[in-house]
Structure 1
Amino acid sequence: MDAYLACVGWSGERRASADTLRSLHRAHLHSIPFENLDAVLGSAPSLALPDVEAKLVRGGRGGYCFEQNTLFAAVLKSLGFHVTMHTARVLRAGGHDAVRPRTHMLLIVRVPGEEGRYLADVGFGGATGLLEAVPLVAGTEFRAGPRLHRLVRATEHDGLLDLWVLQAPEAGVWADQYAFTLDPVAPADLEVLNWYMATSPRSPFSHTLSAHRSTPEGHLALRGHTLVATGPDGTRTERELADTDEVVRVLATDFNIAAPEGTRAAVASPTNRP
């Protein structure tokens, strides 16, 4: 815990409260970048907690949703929160007609002494991801810094459990981000999804570099050789990086990611490896 809290720059009172959950969520997101370099290099990252800690806390690296939320869940549990792991179907890529598998990991958190639950997710990566954990309440808007979200219940679906949908405004309208139920999953389930997302040729993470970093000044995203900066007001600037040397340099200077051996070869072209 000492190493983790130093990594994310958090020095609050170590007790399980809603304020702790929100502030620690924001500190994690601002400090540990999202990245999929292990998958681009051809292997699934380990989800064993000592390996995740060594990589994200001590190793100058980031990770994607399975690693990020595995680490955050362990931190929250050690502080006294009750945490369950869940999977979600990402909706924003491909629209409603493209049914994608449930390959995103999120957390549902209970605060001792409170009746309600919270959605926590430090692993979504994009500029529309949660900056802070939000109460699991339908129809209410929640603002954290420049980011606005709401949760709704889907009115039409075939499942027996309520289907929750996280939304964020895009181009002036509420856009679906992902959908999930409150049926928890086990670490063994996540191992299968982690392997698929990292190694399947059908997974976008297995062949294209993706890195994200949220800061108080905005959001940075790198996909392949394209760098996109999103300001607090939503303005976007985009540029193409010149070569693999610039990609590695930007990963280090702008994302605080120490690129592992083999990164230059893996990102030698905008489409990375076949």
Structure 2
Amino acid sequence: MSQTERTTILDLDAYLKRIGWDGEPRADLATLRGLHTAHARSIPFENLDPVRGVVPSLRPDDIAAKLVHSRRGGYCYEHNTLFAGVLEALGLRVTRLAARVVVGAERFDSRPRTHMALLVEAPGDPRPRLADVGYGTARSLLEPVPLVTGAEFHAGGRRHRLVHAPNTGPLETWVLQAHGPAGTDATAGWEAQYAFTLDPFAQPDFEVANWYVGAHPRSPFSRRPYLQRLAPDRHLLLDGHRFTETHDDGTVTARELTDETEARHLVEERFEIDVPDGVPLLGRAPLRG
């Protein structure tokens, strides 16, 4: 790796400016929590490269150029690869995990491991923590949560907990659950988000998964725009033609977009993303393969 690449990857000042975090970065839990929340609130989730037929690069310097030095975002592999590199540069220990997104699934093993999450160990913290700045939903983690079962965690109006699933193999299966809207029943409101084991995955594993998610003709991420951003008092989502705003008080407003120029303006102004050429925001990406 050249000195130029190393400087780009480890440009912590540029990263901290991008996420608007002005604390003193240290290898401790406070920094981990602060960076996690700031990252989640600052860099949008988006899949515009796959929509235009380009599989995102997972080279750390390419990710930094896109997510840190440009008005762009990315999906889980990009966000969590970037975040893992930042944490490791600070001296924290990071294990990369592969998870099955199981929202709505009857059987967990019916879903492939196509989501990237992180297990982070901070000095002085008695337990490792699940960290994830790349889960593209309104029920994503705003702070890392300790790896314990049953305890409920609150951050930014969101409620999460970790539970164990029945084992289907030699390794224990963990499940991240999120609670439904305020006012739902305390037990019935929990919904599984993704399931994972603690076996570490390496960069080549994610390269394969990234190619599938970014290029397979049946992947939802290669077929329609899917963008989210956390604004100060609401969550913004563009899923295909439908734009939804979920306010902190639970109010939801939604509308269908019908004009390409309007859609491009909305993405650039509300999601703070510069739309690359060749993205059919309201069109239909051509089938490949």
TM-score range, shorter chain: over 0.9
User: Which residue identity is paired with 1:238?
Assistant: A
Looking at structure 1, the residues matched to 128 and 282 of structure 2 have their Cα atoms a distance apart, in angstroms, of 45
Letter in 1 for 2:105: G
How many Å separate the matches in 1 of 2:167 and 2:250?
32
Consecutive unaligned residues of structure 1, counting only runs of 5 or more, are none
**1:201 and 2:217 matched:** yes
RMSD over aligned CA atoms reads 1.3
Match status 1:180 vs 2:196: yes
- 1-structure distance, mates of 2:271, 2:259: 17
Q: Deviations over 1:190-237 (max 9, x none)?
A: 000000000001211011110000133121010111001111133211
2:179 pairs, out of 147, 169, 186, with 169
In 2, Cα distance between equivalents of 1:127 and 1:55: 23
Q: In structure 2, what is the Cα distance between the partners aligned to 1:32 and 1:202?
A: 27
Deviation at 1:88, TM superposition (A): 0.4
AA at the equivalent of 2:167: H
CA distance in 2, matches of 1:235, 1:163: 35
Q: Matches of residues 5-44 of structure 1 in structure 2 within 5 Å?
A: 5-44=16-55
Structure 1 residue corresponding to 2:206, chosen from 168, 190, 193: 190
- C-alpha distance in 2, partners of 1:96/1:131? 27
Q: How much has 1:158 moved relative to structure 2? A: 1.3
Asked if the contact 2:58–2:81 (Cα under 8 Å) also holds between the matched residues in 1, the reply is yes
Q: Distance in 1 between matches of 2:156 and 2:223?
A: 33
Asked if the contact 2:157–2:248 (Cα under 8 Å) also holds between the matched residues in 1, the reply is: yes
Distance in structure 1 (CA, Å) of the matches to 2:231 and 2:143: 13
Task: Map 1:73-222 to 2 at 5 A.
Answer: 73-92=84-103, 94-97=104-107, 99-154=110-165, 156-170=166-180, 172=184, 173-222=189-238
Q: CA deviation at 1:23?
A: 1.2
Contact 2:102 2:111 in 1 (8 A): yes
1:47 to 35, 58, 61: 58
TM-score (structure 1 length as normaliser): 0.95
The superposition leaves residues 40-98 of structure 1 with CA deviations (integer Å, 9 ceiling, x where unpaired) of 01121000000000000111100000000000001111111100100100011x42247
The one-character-per-residue Cα deviations of 1:93-134 (angstroms, maximum 9, x if unpaired) are: x42247211100000000013331000000001100001111
Q: Is the 8 A contact 2:96 2:117 kept in 1?
A: yes
Moved more, 12-21 or 56-65: 12-21
CA distance in 2, matches of 1:148, 1:234: 14
Q: Which amino acid aligns with 1:60?
A: R
Contact 1:241 / 1:247 at 8 angstroms: preserved in 2? yes
User: 1:33, 1:211 within 8 Å by CA — same for their partners in 2?
Assistant: yes
User: TM-score, normalised on structure 2?
Assistant: 0.90
* 2:53 match: secondary structure: coil
SS in 2 for 1:119: strand
**1:267 is aligned to 2:281:** yes
Task: Name the aligned partner's letter for residue 190 of structure 2.
Answer: W
Q: Secondary structure at the match of 2:58?
A: coil
Supply the distance in 1 between the matched residues of 2:29 and 2:249 (Cα, whole angstroms).
27
1:57 and 2:68 correspond: yes
SS at the partner of 1:193? helix
Structure 2 alignment gaps of length 5 or more:
1-11
Counterpart among 71, 86, 102 of residue 82 in structure 2: 71
Residue number in structure 2 paired with 1:253: 269
- The aligned amino acid for 1:146 is G
